[in-house]
């Protein structure tokens, strides 16, 4: 990718910031750009050592928040040598591969640094921007089709970039599971994933089993229309839920088939279709009805201070689906239970599973009833927009205060605005008393489907990986990994620059791989985005290499690569690496040779 055609310089003064856009070519020197701006604007730009910064991803829009975002970035990166640039540099060397539409250079002086002292005010402003973004989404719900119309034309509501429902359709339109945000939904998810185990909490009493059996029998009948099915199932559902529902209650923008509530926000939303495949997806319609309910003016107090947890039930003929959902700048549902309601030679097993599932629902519904029976706390901060995980196994959960979400490229944000931000499982948090000396330490928190903590700790003990504080299994089916936040850049970022990757990075990575192989471990994903380059020493004269992301790491000749391995990146994989293929040390060695070629001095593959 070529260098940008226009360079944007920004001076983030707390009261008189300014921006300058200058047309450039690849051989334009930064000093000449500064001279031109001084002449055009009639100002004097401070020409101090180390006062020019090249932020990786501060976008120009929205304009109203650019000062706050620039100050926030500087707060975390002030005096960081890896992002400082010299005015004697050339545009093509420094900004190769960096697109237009963002700030390329920040100019810093004493006044700018003093403005960073007001970081608390900055945090309040950023909180307000995030809350305003959530409110804007809630108000946009009114513009969406009605739930019944939405399920007839799902493409109108399941939009990857601008949709409000993020349920995995299209396939990149998803976010973290709602179980990570709410303890009640976490336990519901855990229970519904454990129906084949003998959990004491889920043993149903004979009355519940009887009601479920009758409900399943009624569900297997055929009915002329949806109304007939609703009437036939209504009393069975009341007995199962041990509470009467409100049926066909007209609410602004929707008329759900049934809701359970008590003078407050509905904690269960049910939609029903006469047959599976006809009239659309009932669970999607329940999520759409929930979005309309969240967007109601009278529920602003709930969405401004909570993530508004809810249970969704979809009934389609003889098919039952149970989901949880939260609102965190969008609706994020996840359905851990779905089953055909068959009464056949496996009727005992099926009745028992469905009975346990409804027992889990009634437990969660009772907790949500208590939750919505009290007034919500006054709106303050963004805690409700960040995860609040529930421990399942592994290391104890640490005392964390989430600060930001983060993309794989290092961009910080609070509320996701596109599919890449929604799908990210990375966060920046403050860890209390991280090393026993009091105070907070900035850490990275990662949520991932698989993780090899042993491989990470092995290299962290040798300084070849960030310090690993904990690795825990949390409800929702993910690992929660807490590690030191390193100041540096990935090898991929350095590879886009003229100077390239220092050879000592390769040497460190080679040492790391040899240590893993000695323990019979394979790293697996030895690509440049997974290699962190960290400048050591006060003068930054040495650059060390560290390995990141131990999601794939596994035992040689035993563990396997993910089934989702991206075959379109075949030029970046070693020969023999394939979807769900067996992991082998030789794959690491071949990818290590690729890295060696990319590092300086340039060497050919042996």
Does the domain formed by 489-600 have CATH 1.10.510.10? yes
Local structure of residue 246 (DSSP, 8 states): E
Contacts of 123 (CB under 8 A, 6+ apart): none
Mode of pairing for the β-strands spanning 599-600 and 501-502: parallel
Class of the CATH domain delimited by 386-484 = alpha beta
Phi, psi at 570, each rounded to 5°? -60, -25
Beta bridge partners of 447: 480
Closest to 330 (Cα-Cα) out of 298, 295, 285, 296: 295
Question: What distance in Å separates the CA atoms of residue 332 and residue 414, rounded to the nearest whole number?
Answer: 16
The CATH number given to 6-120 is 3.10.20
In three-state secondary structure terms, 474 is strand
pLDDT tens digits along 467-511: 999 999 999 999 999 999 988 888 888 887 767 788 999 999 999
Cα–Cα distance, 280 to 403 (Å, whole number): 40
Residue span(s) of the chain under CATH 3.10.20 come to: 6-120
Residue whose tokens read 């049934």? 258
**CA distances for 318 relative to 275, 342, 474, 565, 597, angstroms:** 7, 7, 32, 36, 59
What value does the CA radius of gyration of the chain take, rounded to a whole number of Å? 27
Q: What is the pLDDT of residue 435?
A: 66
Taking the chain (606 residues) in runs of 10, the rounded mean pLDDT of each run is 76 91 88 91 84 84 79 81 86 74 89 77 72 88 89 82 87 94 96 95 97 98 95 97 95 95 92 90 96 93 93 97 96 95 96 98 96 78 91 93 89 89 94 70 95 97 96 96 91 79 93 98 94 75 90 97 86 91 97 90 50
Token pair for 384: 């409700």
Yes or no: say if 485 and 427 are a contact pair by the CB < 8 Å rule: no
Count Cβ neighbours within 10 Å for each residue of 343-368 and write b for 16 or more, e otherwise.
eeeeeeebbbbbbbbbbbbbbbbebb
Report the Cα–Cα distance between both ends of the chain, in Å, rounded.
Answer: 29
Indicate the Cα dihedral angle 263, 267, 273, 278, nearest 10°: 130
* Phi, psi (rounded to 5 degrees) for 558: -130, -60
pLDDT at 48: 82
Query: What is the rounded CA–CA span in Å between residue 262 and residue 248?
Result: 16
Helices (H), 242-313: 282-294, 300-303
Mapping DSSP to helix (H, G, I), strand (E, B) and coil, where does residue 22 land?
Answer: strand
Q: pTM to 2 decimals?
A: 0.80
Q: What is the pLDDT of residue 439?
A: 64
- Residue 606 pLDDT: 45
Task: Name the segment(s) of the chain with CATH classification 3.30.200.
Answer: 386-484
Sign of CA dihedral 230, 236, 240, 244: positive
Helix, coil or strand: residue 47 = coil
Looking at residue 1, its pLDDT comes to 44
Identify the burial level of 595 via C-beta atoms within 10 angstroms of its C-beta, where 0-12 means exposed, 13-18 middle and 19 or more buried.
Answer: buried
DSSP 481: E
Judging by DSSP bridges, how do beta strands 331-340 and 319-327 pair with one another?
A: antiparallel
Reported residue count of the chain is: 606
Q: How many CA atoms lie within 13 A of 144 on its CB side?
A: 34
User: How far lies 430's CA from each of 127, 480, 485, in Å?
Assistant: 16, 15, 10
Contact 471, 454 (CB under 8 A): no
């Amino acid at each position: 990718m070529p260098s940008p055609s226009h360079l944007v310089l920004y001076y983030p003064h707390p009261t008189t910031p300014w921006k300058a856009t200058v047309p450039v070519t690849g051989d334009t020197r930064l000093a000449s750009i500064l001279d031109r701006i001084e002449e055009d604007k009639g100002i004097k730009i401070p020409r101090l050592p180390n006062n020019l910064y090249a932020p990786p991803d501060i976008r120009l829009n929205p304009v109203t928040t650019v000062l706050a975002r620039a100050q926030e970035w500087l707060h975390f990166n002030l005096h960081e040598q890896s992002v400082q640039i010299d005015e004697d540099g050339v545009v093509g060397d420094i900004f190769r591969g960096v697109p237009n539409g963002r700030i390329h250079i920040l100019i810093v002086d004493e006044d700018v640094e003093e403005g960073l002292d007001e970081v608390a005010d900055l945090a309040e402003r950023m909180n307000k921007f995030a809350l305003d973004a959530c409110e804007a989404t809630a108000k946009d719900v009114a513009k969406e089709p009605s739930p019944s119309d939405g399920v007839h034309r799902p493409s109108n509501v399941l939009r990857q970039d601008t949709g409000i429902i993020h349920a995995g359709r299209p396939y990149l339109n998803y976010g973290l599971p709602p179980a990570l945000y709410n303890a009640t939904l976490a336990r519901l998810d855990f229970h519904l994933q454990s129906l084949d185990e003998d959990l004491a909490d889920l043993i149903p009493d004979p009355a519940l089993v009887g009601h479920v059996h009758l409900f399943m029998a009624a569900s297997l009948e055929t009915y002329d229309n949806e109304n007939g099915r609703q009437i036939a199932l209504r009393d069975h559902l009341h007995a199962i839920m041990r509470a009467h529902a409100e049926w066909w209650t007209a609410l602004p923008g929707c008329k759900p088939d049934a809701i359970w509530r008590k003078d407050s926000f509905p904690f269960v939303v049910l939609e029903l279709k006469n047959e599976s495949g006809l009239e659309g997806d009932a669970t999607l319609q329940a999520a759409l009805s929930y979005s309309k309910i969240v967007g109601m003016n009278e529920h602003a107090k709930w969405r401004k201070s909570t993530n508004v947890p809810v249970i969704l039930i979809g009934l389609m003929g003889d098919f039952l689906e149970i989901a949880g959902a939260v609102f965190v700048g969008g609706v994020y549902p996840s359905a851990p239970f779905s089953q055909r309601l068959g009464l056949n030679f496996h009727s005992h097993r099926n009745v028992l599973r469905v009975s346990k599932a409804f027992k889990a629902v009634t437990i969660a519904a009772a907790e949500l009833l208590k939750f919505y029976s009290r007034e919500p706390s006054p709106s303050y901060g963004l805690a409700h927009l960040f995860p609040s995980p529930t421990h399942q196994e592994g290391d104890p959960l640490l005392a964390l205060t989430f600060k930001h979400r983060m993309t794989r490229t290092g961009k910080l944000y609070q509320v996701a605005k596109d599919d890449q931000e929604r799908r990210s499982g990375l966060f920046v948090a403050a860890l209390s008393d991280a090393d026993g000396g009091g105070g907070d330490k900035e850490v990275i928190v990662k949520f991932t489907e698989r993780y090899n903590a042993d491989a990470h700790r092995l290299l962290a003990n040798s300084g070849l990986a960030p310090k690993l504080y904990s690795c825990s299994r949390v409800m929702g089916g993910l690992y929660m990994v807490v590690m030191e936040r390193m100041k540096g850049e990935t090898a991929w970022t350095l590879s886009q620059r003229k100077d390239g990757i220092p050879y000592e990075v390769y040497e460190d990575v080679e040492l790391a791989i040899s240590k893993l192989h000695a323990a019979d471990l394979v790293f697996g994903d030895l690509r440049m985005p997974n290699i962190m380059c960290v400048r050591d020493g006060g003068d930054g004269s040495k650059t060390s290499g560290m390995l990141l992301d131990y999601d794939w790491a596994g035992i040689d000749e035993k563990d396997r690569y993910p089934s989702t391995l991206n075959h379109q990146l075949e030029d970046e994989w070693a020969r023999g690496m394939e979807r769900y293929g067996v992991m082998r040390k030789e794959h690491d060695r071949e990818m290590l040779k690729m890295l060696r070629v990319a590092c300086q001095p340039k060497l050919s593959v042996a």
